[in-house]
Amino acid sequence: MAQDKYKVVPSVIGRFAPVVAERAEGSWFYTKDGEKWLDLAVGIAVVNTGHTHPKVIAAAKAQMDKIVHAQANMFYNDTVVDAANKILEIVPGDFDNVLFINSGAEAVENAVKLAKQSTRRPVTIAFKGAFHGRTHMTMALTCSKAQYRGYYEPLPGGVYHARYAYPYRTPASEDPVDFAISDLRKVITTECWPDQVASILVEPIQGEGGFIVPPAEFMQEVRKIADEIGALLIIDEIQSGFGRTGKWFCMEHYGVTADIVTIAKGIASGFPLSAIVSRSEYFDKCKPGTLGGTYGGNAVACAASAAGIDAIRDEGMMDNATKQGEKLRGFFTKLQETYPNIGEVRGLGLMDAIEIVKPGTKEPDAAAAVAFKNACIERKVLTLLCGMYDNCVRFLPALNIPDDAMDYAMGVWEEAAKVAFA
C-alpha cells in the first residue's frame, strides 16, 4: 500500500479507509490485497442502488456506443431528455423543468442563481449547521464546520443563517420548532429586508451537520415563511434524495414541496450528474446562457440515472431502506441501554446516525465517535462520521443492503461499542 504512486493524491483529500479498492459489487468492495469490505457509505450516499448494479452498468455501456457527450447547448438528445422526464415523475411538486449540471455544489450554485435572477432579489437565507458544498458561494452557505470555510474569507455576501430545528440540542425549556422559527423570523427582519430575500435554502435532514431530523412542522413553517415574504424555497435533497430515506425524496415525510429542488449523489448510481428541478415560470425569467455549463447532462450518466430510478422502484429498494433503517435504529436504541455514550439514535430510512456524548451529559465526545468508527474500519466495515461537533457516526448503506450484510454490521457495531465506549 505504501507505494510511492499514491503520493500523487494530495493530502488535503482525507481518507476513511487506508486501502486500495479494486472492484465493488452491491454492498461490498474488494481491495487489491484481496480483502472484502462492507461499505456503509456507498460513496457518501451516491451508489444507492449498490455498487455496479447490473441494470445501471448495462444502460451506461449501451449508451456509450451511441453518444457520450450530447452537449446541451448543441442539440437535444433523447437519453438526456428521457432522464429529465423520469426525474420529473418522481420529484414531488409542480415542476416542468430539469437543468442538468455535474456536482452537488454546482446544483446549489445554479439553484441560488435561478432564485436571484428570477426574483431579481439578492439575499439567500440558509441554516446554521448546513452543508451545501465547497465552491465559494456554497461555502458561504455552509456552516457545519469551520474547516469548510476557514481560510477562504471573504466569502460572497448576501447570505444569512438562521437556527435549524435540532431537537436533541434545543434547551429543555424551549420548543425546537418555535426556537428555530423565531430565529428565522428574526434573521429576515433584523439582518436584511424580507422583500430582498430571493430564496430560503434548507436540507430536509441536515447531513454533514449531524443527520439532524427536524420535526415536520419546522419544514412546514419554513415553507410558510418563504411564501409570506415572496422568496423561493430551495430544498437541498442532494444527500437525502433518491430513496435514501425510504421515500423518493425526504421532503415527502413532511408533506412539503419546494420551488427549486437540488439533486445529485444518488441521481445516477455513481456517474457524475446533478440537477435542479423547478418551474419554467422561473427559468423563463433568466437570460439564455446565464445558467448551466459545458458538461451538464452527460448522456452516459443520464442513461445510468434512468436505469437506477427503475431499479430503485422495480426492486423495492425504498421498502428495504425503511425496513433496514428500522432494524438499524432499533439495534442502536437497544445498545444505548448498555452504552449511555450513545446520546441519540436518529434518522429516516437508511440515512441514520448516532450522536456520541460523555455518559450522563450531552457533552459531545468526538474521541469516542472516532474510536467507534476506527473499530469498524479495523473490522473492514467502512463507516463515516459527521456532526457539527465531529461526534456523530453516520450510516448510509446501499438501499438494497440484504439482511445478512446488516446482521454482519450489527455484530461489528457490538464489538466496536465495547472497544470505543469501554
Ligand X SMILES: Cc1ncc(COP(=O)(O)O)c(C=O)c1O
Stretch that binds ligand X, among 23-31, 236-244, 316-324, 333-341 (CB under 6 A): 236-244
For residue 105, state whether it binds ligand X (rule: CB under 6 A): yes
Least distance to ligand X from the beta carbon of 7, Å? 24
Among 26, 50, 93, 104, binds ligand X (CB under 6 A): 104
Residue closer to ligand X, measured from CB, 104 or 364: 104
For 149-192, where are the alpha helices, taking DSSP H only?
176-190
Distance between CA 203 and CA 262 in Å, rounded?
A: 10
Q: Are 354 and 345 in contact (CB under 8 A)?
A: yes
Stretch that binds ligand X, among 125-133, 250-258, 324-332, 341-349 (CB under 6 A): 125-133
Residue closer to ligand X, measured from CB, 53 or 244: 244
**Residues numbered 186-225 forming contacts with ligand X, rule: CB under 6 A:** 203, 207
Stretch that binds ligand X, among 18-26, 162-170, 234-242, 312-320 (CB under 6 A): 234-242
For residue 109, state whether it binds ligand X (rule: CB under 6 A): no
Among 38, 91, 238, 377, binds ligand X (CB under 6 A): 238
For residue 111, state whether it binds ligand X (rule: CB under 6 A): no
Least distance to ligand X from the beta carbon of 251, Å? 13
For residue 297, state whether it binds ligand X (rule: CB under 6 A): no
For residue 115, state whether it binds ligand X (rule: CB under 6 A): no
Least distance to ligand X from the beta carbon of 334, Å? 29
Residue closer to ligand X, measured from CB, 207 or 343: 207
**Identity of the amino acid at 192:** C
Q: What's the sign of the alpha-carbon dihedral 124, 130, 134, 140?
A: positive
Using Cβ positions, the residue closest to ligand X within the complex turns out to be 104
Residue closer to ligand X, measured from CB, 177 or 201: 201
Measuring CA to CA, which residue among 366, 378, 371 is closest to residue 18? Answer: 378
Provide the mask over 342-361, with x wherever binding to ligand X is found by CB under 6 A and - wherever it is not: --------------------
Residue closer to ligand X, measured from CB, 239 or 400: 239
For residue 133, state whether it binds ligand X (rule: CB under 6 A): yes
For residue 387, state whether it binds ligand X (rule: CB under 6 A): no
Residue for cell digits 443527520? 211
**Residues numbered 363-382 forming contacts with ligand X, rule: CB under 6 A:** none
For residue 108, state whether it binds ligand X (rule: CB under 6 A): yes
For residue 141, state whether it binds ligand X (rule: CB under 6 A): no
Q: Are 235 and 261 in contact (CB under 8 A)?
A: yes
For residue 132, state whether it binds ligand X (rule: CB under 6 A): yes
Stretch that binds ligand X, among 103-111, 150-158, 324-332, 353-361 (CB under 6 A): 103-111
Number of shown-chain residues binding ligand X (CB under 6 A): 14
For residue 239, state whether it binds ligand X (rule: CB under 6 A): yes
Stretch that binds ligand X, among 15-23, 58-66, 102-110, 364-372 (CB under 6 A): 102-110
CA dist 300 to 42, 69, 78, 179, 341, Å? Answer: 20, 8, 12, 46, 46
Least distance to ligand X from the beta carbon of 114, Å? 16
Residue for cell digits 504512486? 5
For residue 131, state whether it binds ligand X (rule: CB under 6 A): yes
Measuring CA to CA, which residue among 272, 280, 275 is closest to residue 69? Answer: 272
Residue closer to ligand X, measured from CB, 261 or 311: 261
For residue 103, state whether it binds ligand X (rule: CB under 6 A): yes
Distance between CA 109 and CA 111 in Å, rounded?
A: 6
Distance between CA 50 and CA 270 in Å, rounded?
A: 9
3-state helix, strand, coil in the chain (%, to 5): 40, 20, 40
Q: Are 305 and 267 in contact (CB under 8 A)?
A: yes
Residue closer to ligand X, measured from CB, 77 or 206: 206
Positions in the binding site for ligand X (CB under 6 A) = 44, 103-105, 108, 131-133, 203, 207, 236, 238-239, 264
